[in-house]
Structure 1
Amino acid sequence: MFFAFLVILCGKRKKPQKVQNPVSTTTTTTTTELFSTITANNSASFDPTLQISMTKLRRATKNFSSDFIIGGGRFGLIYKAQLSNGVTVAIKRLDPDAFKGSQEFWAEMVTLGMLHHPNIVKILGYCMTDSNKLLIYEFIQNGSLDQWLHLQEEEKPDVTTLSWGTRIQIVRGVANGLSFLHGLDKPIAHQDIKSSNVLLDSNFQAHISDFGLARRIDASTSYASSQSQSTGTMGYSYKPPEYKDGLTVPTLEADVYSLGS
């Protein structure tokens, strides 16, 4: 019954929102032109009110001090920092030695740079040098759903666990975000839906994050669809049966299965 409820939620697709072009700090050209000019020692903001540079990011994190680390992903660390204008952001610093980290950088930057939805984490910009690849996101206050689901009252007795009403709100938010992705003219499969990739804001609204494995379903020349093979988190058990039977291409159904699991 619970899985059927999730499928119904995903089936109620909203009309896809118009995709907006990101704004560069150095150009007002189209999205395609912006991404085609990205090279090493380059940075840009998708928010015209922010000025992003490696110097500013190093200053905000005290040269990426471990004191600012709030998490980590498959290919790097995540830092919390306050920029000079007072805006708090999350900075994903990808491992420079990881080839797949470079692939994730491009996939996530291009995908999120062109998507705008209340249940999808917002990317604010990027910064790239010869040795660093940084992605800058809005800071989501309450961390990941995974942290809350595994919260032990004896460890944090002053923190209230998630109520059923809040859990339903979170599930609905993730379903709405997936419905948006799947309902685009060129649908996007996230490919790694799990509790640690769902971030919760101050009102416990869900924001889908980590688009490093996201792929468009149809053949495309975009960076986001350059790799068609279905992957996912190593060791993650909630993969649909067809993947175990040898399917190697991303599907929208796999996202729904992961949500239901």
Structure 2
Amino acid sequence: MFTLAKKQQIGNYTITFPVKEGDYAETYRVKDSAGKNRFLKLINCAKLHRTQFDADGNVLEVEIAKQLDHPNIVKYRDSGETIINGRKFAYIVFDYISGETTSQFLAREGECSVYDAKTIVLGVLNGLKFLHSLHEPVIHNEITLQNVMVDVSSGATIPKIIDFGYARYLSQGSTAFNKNGLSPFYLAPEALNGVFSVKSDIFSAGAV
């Protein structure tokens, strides 16, 4: 059951339609005040694991999203907090990606050409290089076929990394890692023991 209904307002955004419902968050296609399509993630703060907050009590995913500015990563636009029916929610607004997940792309195409495979993997590695090279390096922790979108709006195939729900700062150490809900098919062996690093993201890119 989605929290927000069509045409409902949240901040400066109007809900167009719901997209996906998860354990602690919901995603929506929305329009901004200029009528542009955007993508909004609504996070139920009460359902977050303690490791999903930073040292100051802010939602970690929101704080990480604010730093995302790279052609191979979904672009952050806005964020905020709101109270709905007495419950606190955080929301993040991203550019709307006109395309599909790599998983959907593969299902539709039936097979992946060497050219497409190279384009997608290079894009993912470039996006990861940006994250890992930040002043405070960020580890994505959930690089999968579902979390790489293929943007086709420009006529070219541009892969973009999405969903930073499991992302962590490298400096947080392994205690700040909740692996519940992660796909074992993409996880580096050490990540199964709660240890994450730059290398564990590269392993996941290899699995992709």
Place the TM-score, normalised by the shorter chain, in its bin. Answer: 0.7 to 0.9
Match of 2:177 in 1: 229
Name which of structure 1's ranges 108-117 and 251-260 shifts more when overlaid on structure 2: 108-117
Shift of the 182–80 alpha-carbon distance from structure 1 to 2, 3 Å rule, reads: same
Equivalent of 1:240, from 188, 192, 201? 188
Q: Which has the higher contact order (CA 8 A, sep 6+)?
A: 1
Question: How far 1:101 moved relative to its partner?
Answer: 9.6
Match of 1:255 in 2: 201
TM-score, reference length from structure 2: 0.77
Match of 1:71 in 2: 20
Does 2:141 correspond to 1:191?
yes
Question: How far 1:102 moved relative to its partner?
Answer: 9.7
Does 2:81 correspond to 1:128?
yes
Q: Which amino acid aligns with 1:240?
A: A
Match of 1:22 in 2: none
Q: Secondary structure at the match of 2:116?
A: helix
Equivalent of 2:71, from 101, 118, 138? 118
Across the two proteins, how many residue pairs are aligned to each other?
A: 188
Structure 1 outlier segments of 4+, above 4 Å: none
Does 2:157 correspond to 1:204?
yes
Does 2:102 correspond to 1:167?
no
* Counterpart contact for 1:78–1:91, Cα < 8 Å: yes
CA distance in structure 2 between the aligned counterparts of 1:232 and 1:258, rounded to whole angstroms:
16
Q: 1:188-246: per-residue Cα shift (whole Å, max 9, x none)?
A: 11111111111121232111111122112125xxxxx89622626434322222234x3
Q: Secondary structure at the match of 1:147?
A: helix
Q: What's the RMSD between the two structures over aligned residues?
A: 2.8
TM-score, reference length from structure 1: 0.63
CA distance in structure 2 between the aligned counterparts of 1:188 and 1:215, rounded to whole angstroms:
6
Shift of the 122–55 alpha-carbon distance from structure 1 to 2, 3 Å rule, reads: closer
The percentage of counterpart residues that share the same residue type is 27
* Counterpart contact for 1:94–1:102, Cα < 8 Å: no
1 or 2, which has the higher strand percentage? 2
* Counterpart contact for 2:143–2:186, Cα < 8 Å: no
